Chain A
Amino acid sequence: MCSFKSCTLRPFILLQFISFLIVGVTLEASEEIISSTADHTKFEALQQTFSSGPEVTKACLECHTEAARQIHKTKHWNWRFTHPETGEKLGKQTIVNNFCGAIETNYARCTSCHIGYGWKDNSFDFSSETNVDCLVCHDTTGTYKKFPTGAGHPPYVDKPFPPKSNKIWKAPDLSQVAQKVGKSSRKTCGACHFYGGGGDGIKHGDLDSSMTNPKKSLDVHMDTEGLDFTCSTCHQKDGHDVSGSRYVTQAKDTQGIDVPGRGDNIRSTCESCHGLKPHAVTINNKLNDHTNKVACVTCHIPSYARGGRPTKTWWDWSTAGRMSDEGKHIKTKDAQGYVNYVTKKGSFEWGENLIPEYAWFSGNIRYKQLDEKIDPNNIVAINTFAGSYDDPDARIWPFKVMRGRQPYDKGNNTLVTTHLFGKDSDAYWKSFDWNRAIKAAMQASNADYSGEYGFIETTYHWPLAHMVSPKEEALDCEACHSKQGRLDKLEGFYMPGRDSYYWVDLIGWLAVLGTLGGVTMHGLGRLLSKAKRR
């Protein structure tokens, strides 16, 4: 029975309880302690209106006096890397790839992913401290985005991109962004690294925007409901120098688990945390035995481009430049809705849930230099790498192999740089004249161009190390230990389940059959002779 009194009282008590909860929560929020020792909203230097990125950097440097000079030493800043063994000049400044070619003469577009402001041509001042972009890595608001053609600057007024489209890139509130800085995150690193090659997932295959907030099945380490690693959990070192390199990849870490005082202090290998014998010991213990010849990621990244975003697998520049009958640019899509042709860039193919290709890899990658001769009768490997079964530093690694067709110098048999982006008429995206585009870019690269170009098929290997699956989804033994398995093409070693010697097996089975036949004949002979004797 419900009396009148208690029925009216109950909603009142509930209301009181709710208001108590609200008060409680707000009290808690105001007393929340941030993990950083500095609350940047309290800094006077940041309580001002900033009109440009460099102005913010100037304010940052008032306290973080060494930060810019630290950045100046990194590949993130220089886009240049001298290989310690070969002495080759590598890095984005010089390397020709089979996506958009090279950055030479295309700076303002490419450097929208530079960790600085204003690298629009060769005159960029690499010694300028205020040209360092602190916010692109340390923004926590998610509102700071570099403008695609802004040479590293964010938009300072709202602007459309692509130009004349109705997709507006909002100018960030720099003061707000500066006051909310924090540690780098999957989102900040991903702002560039997920969009390599000009768009989401295009370049790497194991890095795309699905890795911003991945599920466990996509990446066991970055799983937002689990370990929730950021990029820098593994890719960390002191003084803004981030570990992990595609020029001197550590294909095999023999140091094992890194703890202070032991190890190489590079935490970007699997072994740095998991050690050299990462699996539970079993009767045969073969899984642990594999670690000297098979990279962890070979079994633990069963497929890539798994997060619902496709990656580009083929890019044919030779078909670029076609116009419609009305003289307009063409854009077509394939059955899955992926763009497979655009006038400016040629034809593409995409893939999702791709099976990696595998190769012996010692970490020592060589890149085709601009002045290096190529063989135009064969597919040109833009990067090649050392490694074989007999190489103690090499292991079997998974790769995304980017394939495509790109311009080359037919007279000199070399790769070429191409001037794609720009307002001048030499730019391919203005005049669609390859000869002019190549000539202008090669001149800027200080490279010889014969004046005659052709198209050549190229490959580019990208070692895969992200999108690590939970262990339950790692590859089974027979993914490789079987006929026509994943390692079918790897040579120079005997692999049980895949390999056998034809003659040994043939003679062996014939012997077994012969024995069976022999005893059968013997038995029949006995039966017959016995019947006869009767």
Chain B
Amino acid sequence: MSQTYYFSLFERLWHWSQAVLIFGMLITGFEIHGVYRLLGFERAIDLHTTMAWVLIGLWLLALFWHTTSGEWRQYVPSDPDSMLASVKYYAVGIFLGAPHPFHRRRAEKHNPVQRMVYLLLTMVITPIIWISGLLYLFYQYWTVIGIADVPLGFVAVVHTIGAFAMLCFIPVHLYMSLTTSEKPFSYLFEMIVGHDANKN
């Protein structure tokens, strides 16, 4: 009876708390953006800011965990050939019932497309949101750091673009993780209990 633990307890906690926080921040963020009225502007701002700080704290922990455990390697882009093979699979093979060209193992738990998307998410989209968000939050101190001439509207636009990108990630992520496993919902199961359901 050998079970592969793909996701450690920390990783699972990180994933789910991050999920909750990102949903919360999208909901409050688009309210602040004036799209709808739900909690009221002041409560939305309070919550959005609170969740931002929690998320930042969580990220610092995750950063520490990834560097010390060496798990950061999971997000290093694959070689172009296997990358291409995976893209081809999702574009064509998946409709023809072809097998996935990627063989998953503990040291390489994400397929090449996944790796790339997560890398983009963590290295591009998230920093865009964070940097613009922190600038937004500390708008009062722009003169101190010498960027008083930057219009707030510019930072707001960058922040908004980041939010839209994050919002686009969610349906893709949900679709892929909930429907592309061999056994239905086994990825979801994995992210809850940690180990591979197939070998249970």
Bound-state CA distance A483–B37 (Å) is 11
Is the C-beta of B134 less than 8 angstroms from some C-beta in chain A?
A: no
Among B57-65, B67-75, B92-100, which stretch is in contact with chain A?
B92-100
The answer to whether B156 has its CB under 8 Å from any CB of chain A is yes
The reply to whether B157 and A504 form a contact with Cβ atoms under 8 Å apart is yes
User: By the criterion CB–CB under 8 Å, are B40 and A478 in contact?
Assistant: yes
Q: Which residues of A contact B97 (CB under 8 A)?
A: 529-530, 533
Number of interface residues of B (CB under 8 A): 35
In the complex, the answer to whether B41 meets A494 with C-beta atoms within 8 Å is: no
Tell me, in angstroms, the Cα distance from A501 to B156 when the chains sit together: 9
CA distance A109 to B164 in the complex (A): 66
Q: Which of A494, A496, A509 contacts B151 (CB 8 A)?
A: A494
**A239 proximal to B (CB < 8 A):** no
A505→B160 contact, CB < 8 A: yes
Contact between B139 and A289 (Cβ–Cβ < 8 Å)? yes
With A478-B41, A512-B168 in contact, do A499 and B156 touch (Cβ < 8 Å)?
yes
- A523 CB contacts on chain B under 8 angstroms: 175, 179
What's the minimum C-beta distance from B94 to chain A, rounded to whole angstroms?
A: 6
Residues of A470-519 whose CB lies within 8 A of B: 476-478, 481-483, 493-494, 496-501, 504-505, 507-509, 511-512, 515-516, 518-519
Which of B3-11, B43-51, B79-87 touches A? B43-51
> Are A515 and B37 touching (Cβ within 8 A)?
no
Write out the residue numbers on chain B whose beta carbons fall within 8 Å of the beta carbon of A519.
171-172, 175
Q: How many residues of A are counted as interface, with CB atoms below 8 angstroms from the partner's CB atoms?
A: 38
Q: Determine the chain A residues whose CB is within 8 A of the CB of B164 once the complex forms.
A: 507-509, 511-512
B95 touches A477 (CB 8 A): no
1/0 per position for B123-160, CB-CB distance to A under 8 A? 00000000000000101100000000001110011001
* B66 beta carbon closer than 8 Å to chain A: no
Q: Which of B33, B42, B53, B168 is A511 in contact with, Cβ under 8 Å?
A: B168
- Number of A-B residue pairs, CB cutoff 8 Å, is 94
How far is A325 from B14 in the complex, measured between Cα atoms in Å? Answer: 87
Which residues of the other chain, B, contact A499 by a CB distance below 8 angstroms? 34, 153, 156
Contact partner, A483, options B34, B161, B167, Cβ 8 Å: B34
Instruction: Report Cα–Cα, A477/B46, bound state, in Å.
Output: 12
Whether the pair A516, B41 counts as a contact (CB closer than 8 A) is no
Among A185-193, A266-274, A280-288, A368-376, the stretch that binds chain B is: A280-288
Please measure, in the bound complex, the distance between the C-alpha atom of A499 and the C-alpha atom of B152, giving whole angstroms: 11
Report if B22 contacts A (CB, 8 A). no
CA distance A357 to B32 in the complex (A): 24
Complex-state Cα separation, A511 to B166, whole angstroms: 11
Residue of B nearest to A290 (CB): B140
In the complex the two chains form, is A482's CB within 8 Å of B46's CB?
no
A525 at the interface (CB under 8 A from B): yes
A508 touching B42 by the CB < 8 A rule?
A: no
* A481-B41, A494-B156 known; A526+B34 contact, CB < 8 A: no
Inter-chain contact A504/B160, CB cutoff 8 Å: yes
B157 near A283 (CB under 8 angstroms)? no
**CB distance B33 to A497 under 8 Å?**
yes
A274 and B56 CA atoms in complex are apart in Å by 34
The CA-CA distance from A478 to B32 in the complex, in Å, is 9
Residues of B within 8 A of A526 (CB): 94-95, 179
Complex interface: chain B residues within 8 A of A476 (CB): 40-42
Q: Which of chain B's residues have a CB closer than 8 A to the CB of A497? A: 32-34, 41
Point out the residues of chain A lying under 8 angstroms from B94, CB to CB.
526
Q: In the complex, A498 Cα to B33 Cα: how many Å?
A: 8
Q: Which of A284, A500, A512 contacts B49 (CB 8 A)?
A: A284
- In this complex, what residue of A is CB-closest to B165? A511
Chain A residues in 8 Å Cβ range of B32: 481, 496-497
Contact call B95/A529, Cβ cutoff below 8 A = yes
State whether B171 touches A482 (Cβ < 8 A).
no
6 closest residue pairs by CB, A with B: A494-B153, A508-B164, A477-B41, A519-B175, A284-B49, A529-B95
Residues of chain A touching chain B, judged by Cβ–Cβ distance below 8 Å, are 282-284, 286, 289, 292, 476-478, 481-483, 493-494, 496-501, 504-505, 507-509, 511-512, 515-516, 518-519, 522-523, 525-526, 529-530, 533
- Can you identify 17 A-B contacts, CB atoms within 8 angstroms? A286-B45, A292-B140, A476-B42, A478-B40, A478-B42, A483-B34, A493-B152, A494-B153, A496-B32, A500-B160, A501-B153, A504-B160, A507-B164, A519-B172, A522-B175, A526-B179, A533-B97
